[in-house]
Amino acid sequence: MSKLEGKIAIVTGAARGIGQQIAKKLAAEGADVAVCDLKEEWCAETVGLVEGLGRKALAVGVNVAVSAEVDACVKKVIETFGKVDIMVNNAGITKDGLLMRMSDEDWDAVLNVNLKGTFLFTRAVARPMMKNKAADGTQLGGVIINIASVVGIMGNAGQANYTASKGGVIALTKTTAKELGSRNVRCNAVAPGFIQSKMTDVLPDDVKKAYMDTIPLKRFGTAEDIAKCVAFLAGPDADYITGQIISVNGGMIG
Ligand SMILES: NC(=O)c1ccc[n+]([C@@H]2O[C@H](COP(=O)([O-])OP(=O)(O)OC[C@H]3O[C@@H](n4cnc5c(N)ncnc54)[C@H](O)[C@@H]3O)[C@@H](O)[C@H]2O)c1
């Protein structure tokens, strides 16, 4: 039996990039997936990938930074699938600039999507996950996985808003684990290093080379590298892991 057979997952920012690969991997492990992104129509490709693996998919247009939209999304998932077992908070944006020149708008936009969005979905799924019980009353709980970043641990010039948001996600992950652990809801974060994606494609070559020099494994990560770690954390092999920040960064930092 596949490790996530019968599980229902929500993945935000799943239209492309890392989120798309996470949705695909969770489906490959047996989960049905709510594919969430800003616009429902952007989710079509990922929905096709999930369905191609023989799993059910639901496309949901949701802005993770808007409380009412997040609550409506979780409600729709529960109406469709009956429950939610796995929550992956992956949606994220950057608006880089040196902090002395950073506008209030760029600060707020990044904090609202990356940190507040993670909080809103965590709050919305907490109660439904706590209600997940087996027929014999055993607490099944659920799993929340937040996508942080290596720079949320080490800081990075030019990314005051982004690094603060990811540092916040790390602290939120630890607090969530402490608050919900007694109901068997686990919460961990994956901290990717430099991953090949639309987010990093735009960086100049000299910046990419500087990063490569710091990576012992001498390659940039792929979205699949992150998805494999998320699937592990979502499954039974990670039953006793909560409140942890797992770095997937080729050895960039220890
Ligand atoms: N690419 C990297 O090197 C890297 C490194 C560390 C961490 N991360 C993190 O991984 C996650 C995914 O990154 P990616 O590289 O795949 O980025 P990406 O830009 O390719 O994809 C992000 C997705 O999130 C969606 N999104 C943005 N704002 C949203 C909102 N308000 N509501 C709903 N969806 C929204 C976008 O539409 C997009 O589909 C992010 O949290 C990012 O911070 C990426």
Residue 223, C-beta contacts closer than 8 angstroms, at least 6 positions apart: 17, 18, 20, 21, 22, 195, 196, 197
**195 Cβ inside 6 Å of ligand 1:** yes
Nearest atom of ligand 1 to the alpha carbon of 226: 10
Q: What is the pLDDT of residues 69-96, one digit of tens each?
A: 999 999 999 999 999 999 999 999 999 9
At 153 the pLDDT is 98
Among 20, 64, 197, say which to mutate for ligand 1: greatest number of ligand atoms within 8 Å of CB.
Answer: 197
**90 Cβ inside 6 Å of ligand 1:** yes
**122 Cβ inside 6 Å of ligand 1:** no
**63 Cβ inside 6 Å of ligand 1:** yes
At 180 the pLDDT is 98
Residue 182 DSSP one-character state: G
At 102 the pLDDT is 98
At which residue do the structure tokens 């990560």 appear?
221
Low-confidence residues in the chain, pLDDT < 70 = 1, 254
At 201 the pLDDT is 87
Kindly give the distance from the C-alpha atom of residue 178 to the centroid of ligand 1, in angstroms, as a whole number.
26
**198 Cβ inside 6 Å of ligand 1:** yes
Give the active site residues: 162
Overall pTM > 0.85: yes
Sheet hosting strand 32-37, strand order edge to edge: 57-61, 32-37, 8-12, 86-89, 142-147, 185-192, 245-248
Rg for the chain, CA atoms, rounded: 17
Class of 8-248 in CATH: alpha beta
Kindly give the distance from the C-alpha atom of residue 197 to the centroid of ligand 1, in angstroms, as a whole number.
9
At 202 the pLDDT is 87
Cβ(140)–Cβ(132) below 8 Å: yes
Cβ(54)–Cβ(78) below 8 Å: no
